[in-house]
């Protein structure tokens, strides 16, 4: 396995420090290096599968290889398959073909040989593919729903008893496992006339995941409310809750929101991985020039750095990467977040609790008395938080925060709208990072094509001066690896607004975002559209996806 890690390191897929950590974990009797890579997210699963196939000389799994029914279920249990990420594909008297995500784990391979009494023929697949197929094969559909007796009574005790029935518990566990296997960030259970719809958000897009009978759907909602300590008898008012759950072999912090509708309670579950690896600032997707600019601005002792974008655009990931870059025993770093998504070693992180008065503004006042060097405020939601944060940046602290705006230039007008005086913004603001997330093309099925029309002019006239007409672009096709969507994962597109002396002179109470953007462009700032189009040319995403994400701009 060391030679495989050496190969990954030479190809720039892992760092020497990561390689050493993986080897040390394996030597201490921990999980295998491949499992560690997947758990820690060092290498994308699809890229890792390609590297494993090349290194071990094992064929990658084809779409037609997946079985329609379980193979040798009496020999290899579902628990073993889930735990070790293996799935038998077909068998004959002499051999068994097995999909594996870790072909170097001889203990698992030997166990399959002994249990099946056959020789192994291996195929490489990703962990998420294997887990998803296992759940699909084991999915009993709505059969278990028949064990739930339909009742018209809706009192608290009835709902609680129903939610504690084994079939309902199994259903909710299965929904969570399937969401985890599909890389979903959100799970929605939504009542409709005579049925309950289940949908998952994958790579920013909602996908239907089936339906449930009405009684079973209500019982599933009650089960989730019990897990998150909500009042199951209260179905007239919205509620919010949270809990830590295990789905597959991963732990998640879940955030739950309920709302009453005309057909019953609708619930949304947000999955936040409790073991997410803190991202590296060099791997965010910024171009090399902007990475250096961001590092330079972050190294200042005081000032304000803002990351902007809509909800779910990766702002917290960017801030976590900056914090990790700044993390040093010589600096005291404090954060106020809602929720705490990444746990950064050596950083004191605080979860807001509005229900007991632990708000952003209240905590920010207290933090200033703890002698911090750097403060990260998860979001400037109101005027009070914005003013305290700006004053902290003015009095010798480096403050990192986020705002909800459509562009980097919009951060200035948003701060003005929050009641911050223009001269204070000009004195403290160092840079603004604007970002969005686009879906990444599946490298297994993407196809190159030659654009027939003037695609630059169709997207935006500003691109014509920056790029020549591209010879080739890429399009989504769809395969089993990406569930037929043509996309797998997401990448960020950025724009970096540096606040220099010329821009500071423009910051007045009546300044518009358009004026600021025009001045920034004249100094060479690449917009999110330009950065996104460069990623289209590299085969990372498509012009259709770019147009969808930046259309409102």
pLDDT, position 160: 56
Q: Given a cut of 50, is residue 147 above it in pLDDT?
A: no
Give the pLDDT confidence of 340-351 residue by residue, as tens digits.
888 888 899 998
Q: How confident is the model at residue 259 (pLDDT cuts 50, 70, 90)?
A: very high
Q: Given a cut of 50, is residue 103 above it in pLDDT?
A: yes
Question: What Rg do the C-alpha atoms of the chain give, in angstroms?
Answer: 26
pLDDT, position 318: 94
Pick 202 or 40 by higher pLDDT: 202
Mean pLDDT for the stretch of residues 186-206: 90
- 174-196 CB burial, b ≥16 within 10 A, e <16: bbbbbbbbbbbbbbbbbbeeeeb
Contact assessment for residue 369 and residue 397, using Cβ atoms and an 8 Å cutoff: no
* Structural domains in the chain, sorted by start: 2-67+77-128 (3.30.300.160), 139-273 (3.30.450.90), 281-550 (3.40.50.300)
Q: Given a cut of 60, is residue 191 above it in pLDDT?
A: yes
Mean pLDDT for the stretch of residues 365-370: 88
Pick 27 or 296 by higher pLDDT: 296
Question: Which stretch of 164-168, 332-336, 486-490, 497-501 has the lowest confidence by average pLDDT?
Answer: 164-168
Pick 81 or 497 by higher pLDDT: 497
Residue 93's CB is within 10 A of a number of other CB atoms, namely 7
Pick 32 or 141 by higher pLDDT: 32
Q: Given a cut of 70, is residue 298 above it in pLDDT?
A: yes
Give the pLDDT confidence of 476-486 residue by residue, as tens digits.
998 888 888 89
Residue reference for tokens 């300044």: 511
Q: What is the 3-state secondary structure (H, E, C) of 490-528?
A: EEEEEEEEECCHHHHCCCCCCCCHHHHHHHHHHCCCCCH
Mean pLDDT for the stretch of residues 449-469: 70
Q: Where are the alpha helices (DSSP H) in 197-302?
A: 214-227, 288-298
Q: Given a cut of 80, is residue 138 above it in pLDDT?
A: no
How far is residue 234 from each of residues 211, 225, 254, 269, 529, measured CA to CA in Å? 24, 10, 20, 18, 46
Q: Given a cut of 90, is residue 247 above it in pLDDT?
A: no
Mean pLDDT for the stretch of residues 67-77: 86
Q: Given a cut of 80, is residue 157 above it in pLDDT?
A: no
pLDDT, position 474: 92
Q: Given a cut of 90, is residue 78 above it in pLDDT?
A: no
Q: 43: phi > 0 → left, psi -120 to 50 → alpha, else beta; which?
A: beta
pLDDT, position 374: 95
Q: What is the 3-state secondary structure (H, E, C) of 395-416?
A: CCCEEEEEECCCCCCHHHHHHH
Nearest to 325 by CA among 282, 293, 286, 371: 282
pLDDT, position 446: 93
pLDDT, position 319: 94
pLDDT, position 424: 95
Q: Given a cut of 90, is residue 189 above it in pLDDT?
A: yes
Q: How far apart are CA 1 and CA 265, in angstroms?
A: 51
pLDDT, position 148: 41
Q: How far apart are CA 36 and CA 19, in angstroms?
A: 10
Task: Phi first, then psi: give them for residue 385, nearest 5 degrees.
Answer: -60, -45
pLDDT, position 411: 95
Structure tokens at 26: 């394996």
How far is residue 542 from each of residues 454, 475, 476, 535, measured CA to CA in Å? 15, 6, 7, 8
pLDDT, position 162: 53
pLDDT, position 461: 65
pLDDT, position 150: 41
Mean pLDDT for the stretch of residues 228-256: 86
Q: DSSP character for 149?
A: P
What does the angle CA 227 – CA 248 – CA 201 come to, to the nearest 5 degrees? 75
Q: How confident is the model at residue 465 (pLDDT cuts 50, 70, 90)?
A: low
Q: Which residues contact 298 (CB under 8 A, 6 or more apart)?
A: 305, 322, 325, 326, 398
Q: What percent of the chain shows pLDDT beyond 90?
A: 41
Question: Which stretch of 73-87, 289-303, 390-404 has the lowest confidence by average pLDDT?
Answer: 73-87
Mean pLDDT for the stretch of residues 290-298: 94
Q: How confident is the model at residue 133 (pLDDT cuts 50, 70, 90)?
A: confident
Mean pLDDT for the stretch of residues 174-202: 89
The helix/strand/coil state of 296 is helix
Mean pLDDT for the stretch of residues 48-52: 89
Terminal-to-terminal C-alpha distance of the chain: 48
pLDDT, position 45: 80
pLDDT, position 149: 38
Chain CA centroid to CA 23, Å? 27
Mean pLDDT for the stretch of residues 358-380: 90
Mean pLDDT for the stretch of residues 268-285: 84
């Amino acid at each position: 396995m060391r030679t495989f890690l050496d190969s990954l390191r030479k190809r720039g897929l892992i760092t020497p420090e990561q390689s050493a950590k993986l080897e040390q974990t394996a030597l201490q009797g921990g999980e295998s290096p491949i499992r560690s890579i997947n758990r820690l997210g060092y290498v994308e699963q699809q890229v890792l599968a390609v590297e494993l196939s090349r290194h071990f000389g094992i064929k990658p799994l084809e779409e037609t290889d997946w079985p329609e029914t379980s193979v040798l279920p009496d020999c290899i249990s579902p628990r073993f398959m889930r735990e070790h990420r293996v799935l038998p594909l077909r068998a004959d008297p002499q051999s068994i073909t097995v999909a594996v995500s870790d072909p170097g784990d001889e203990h698992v391979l030997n166990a399959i040989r002994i249990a099946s009494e056959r020789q192994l023929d291996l195929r490489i697949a990703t962990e998420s593919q294997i887990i998803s197929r296992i759940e699909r094969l084991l999915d009993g559909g709505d059969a278990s729903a028949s064990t739930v007796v339909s009742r018209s009574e809706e009192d608290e005790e009835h709902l609680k008893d129903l939610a504690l029935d084994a079939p309902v518990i199994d259903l909710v566990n299965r929904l969570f496992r399937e969401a985890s296997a599909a890389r979903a960030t959100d799970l929605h259970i939504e009542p409709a006339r005579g049925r309950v719809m289940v949908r998952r958000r994958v790579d920013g897009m909602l996908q239907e995941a089936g339906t449930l009978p009405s009684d079973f759907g209500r019982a599933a909602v009650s089960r989730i409310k019990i897990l998150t300590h909500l009042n199951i008898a209260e179905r007239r008012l919205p509620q919010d809750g949270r809990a830590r759950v295990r789905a597959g072999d991963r732990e998640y912090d879940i955030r739950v929101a309920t709302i009453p509708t005309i057909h019953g309670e609708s619930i949304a579950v947000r999955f936040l991985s409790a073991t997410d690896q803190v991202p590296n600032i060099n791997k965010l997707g910024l171009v090399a020039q902007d990475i250096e600019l961001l590092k330079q601005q972050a190294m200042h002792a005081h000032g304000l750095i803002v990351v902007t974008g809509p909800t779910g655009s990766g702002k917290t990931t960017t801030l976590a990467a900056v914090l990790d870059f700044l993390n040093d025993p010589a600096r005291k770093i404090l954060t106020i977040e809602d929720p705490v998504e990444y746990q950064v070693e050596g950083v004191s992180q605080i979860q807001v609790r509005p229900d007991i008065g632990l708000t952003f503004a209240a905590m920010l006042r207290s933090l200033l008395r703890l002698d911090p060097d750097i403060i990260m405020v998860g979001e400037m939601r109101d005027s009070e938080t914005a003013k305290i944060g700006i004053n902290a940046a003015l009095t010798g602290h480096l403050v990192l925060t986020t705002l909800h705006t459509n562009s980097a230039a919009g951060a200035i007008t948003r701060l003005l709208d929050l009641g911050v005086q223009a001269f204070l913004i000009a004195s403290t603001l160092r840079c603004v990072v604007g970002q969005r997330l686009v879906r990444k093309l599946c490298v297994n099925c993407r196809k190159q094509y030659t654009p027939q029309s003037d695609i630059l002019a169709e997207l935006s006239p500003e691109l014509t001066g920056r790029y020549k007409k591209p010879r080739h672009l890429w399009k989504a096709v769809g395969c089993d690896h990406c569930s037929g969507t043509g996309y797998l994962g997401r990448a960020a597109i950025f724009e970096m607004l540096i606040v220099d002396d010329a821009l500071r002179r423009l910051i007045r109470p009546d300044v518009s975002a358009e004026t600021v953007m025009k001045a920034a462009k004249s100094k060479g700032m690449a917009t999110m559209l330009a950065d996104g189009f460069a990623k289209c040319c590299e085969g990372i995403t498509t012009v259709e996806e770019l147009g969808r994400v930046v259309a409102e701009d």
